[in-house]
Amino acid sequence: MSVFYSSVRFLLCWSLFSATETICFCPDSFILLSEWFDLLLPLPLCLSAGTLVVNVAQTFYQAEENHHITLEWTFTPKTLSSSNIYILCQQITDQRASRLFHLHEGVEVSESQDEQFSGRVQFDKDVLREGRLRLDVSRLRTEDSGLYLCEVNTESGSSSDKCRLSVTVIHQITCQTEPNQAEEGGDVSLQCRLDPSVDLRKETLEFTRADLNREDDVVHLYRHEKDQTDPQMDQYRDRTTLIHEDLIRGIISLNISSLTLTDSGLYTCYVPGLADSCTMNVTVVRKDQDNRTNTTIIEPEKPGAEKMDVGAIVGGVHGALIGLGLILIGVLVKLGIIKNRCGTDQQVAADRSQTEELNPAGNGLINVISEA
């Protein structure tokens, strides 16, 4: 029997019986035909005229990695009993054919499923009797991309249709998290990278000012593998450099030189082909402001300042001592004057007493003079 199957692998076998007008045929798939015979062996090789028609819902599907997709086929006429349905769906690539789904007499045969799809395919049983085959494939991988062929066999015949699935990788652009602060007149490097990394040399890359709210906000444009200067803002001409060597590693690095205070603001890195972007903030500070800040925070007090403080203290002490000396001298002088005055008064009293003793008669005259 296997020899017979091998001999008719790529042939359609038609045999017409005039009495019954019944057509006997082999499955019409040209891929792994001998495998079809093994899978569909319980199905009679002689069926009534092949009126079954299978159509795919859409010929091309596209989805992102780690997402899910629903592949759908329809077949007419509808089957009377699900036990009469035999379905085999496979992924066809250049390397091999991988079994996606197998239904035998209306029962799913998960054991025959390829390991690549194990646990990731859900079969909708409810819509099968409506003539619809729906397969939901979850946690998509890039290797799921390829051609998918489904063949349906019922009591009405056998037919197949195919679709193509493309699974794309999700790339995310992330900007550097370190603050972008630079001095006026200096340089700054803006960097963003793609995860997972991919060669960006053929992509369009844009750096724009997100805070200017104007149409001509292009800081730097890379397109058709070249730097484009025409759309660039005048204030950035001849001051931006894109590092082309980094693009092959999925890194976008833009250097801006001769910074001015007007360069401060928000910068957006955008890759149109991936529909993703990120934004960075740049702050340009004056040189003198930056130096004062550094001196205040980092540098210790200068030795000259300490000498000035010591001199002020010594000068203050000297001044205080001189003041105390002057006060002391003043006290001493005052004490001397008081002492001299006391001595003078005592001398006058003594002289007066002596005069009275020598001239008692003159006391009256003296008194008269004193009273006068």
Q: What is the pLDDT of residues 224-277, one digit of tens each?
A: 999 999 999 999 999 999 999 999 999 999 999 999 999 999 999 999 988 899
**Rounded to an integer, what distance in angstroms lies between the CA atom of residue 251 and that of residue 200?**
8
More reliable by pLDDT, 123 or 20: 123
Tokens linked to 163: 């679709």
What is the pLDDT at residue 332? Answer: 64
Asked if the model's pLDDT at residue 21 lies above 60, the reply is: no
pTM of the model: 0.49
Q: Say if residues 25 and 13 touch (Cβ distance below 8 Å).
A: yes
What is the number of other CB atoms lying within 10 angstroms of the CB of residue 121?
18
Residue 134: in which H helix or E strand, if any? Answer: strand 132-137
Lowest mean pLDDT among 110-114, 163-167, 221-225, 287-291: 287-291
Q: Say if residues 289 and 181 touch (Cβ distance below 8 Å).
A: no
Q: All domains of the chain, ordered by start, with CATH?
A: 2-168 (2.60.40.10), 172-292 (2.60.40.10)
Q: 23-61: per-residue pLDDT in tens? A: 333 444 434 443 444 444 444 434 444 699 999 999 999
Helix or strand or coil: residue 86? Answer: strand
Q: 121-153: per-residue pLDDT in tens? A: 999 998 998 999 999 999 999 999 999 999 999
